[in-house]
Amino acid sequence: QVGQMQMKRDSGGSIINHWKIDQIKNLEIPLLTHDTQKKIENLCCESFSKRKQAKQLLEEAKHKVEEMIEKEAGVK
């Protein structure tokens, strides 16, 4: 939101927003507290871990279904 407000402020009334290099250099970017950054890091790590686990479970399920189909078809 902060960046959007700065862009609207600096757009100069044109329909298409274009920033000059100096405007980009002077863009104010708010910093999050260390605690908030750490929470985001932990959530990202947890998300990646759960995604990996979900992929592993999906592969296990696929393998078991394939085994059941082959067993029913008399392949094994």
> What pLDDT does residue 40 have?
97
The domain locations on the chain are 1-30, 32-76
Q: Average pLDDT of 38-64?
A: 98
Tell me the residue length of the chain. Answer: 76
pTM (two decimals): 0.55
Q: What percent of the chain has pLDDT over 70?
A: 76
Q: Average pLDDT of 20-30?
A: 83
Q: Average pLDDT of 28-41?
A: 94
Taking only the tens place, the pLDDT of each residue in 7-16 is: 666 665 555 5
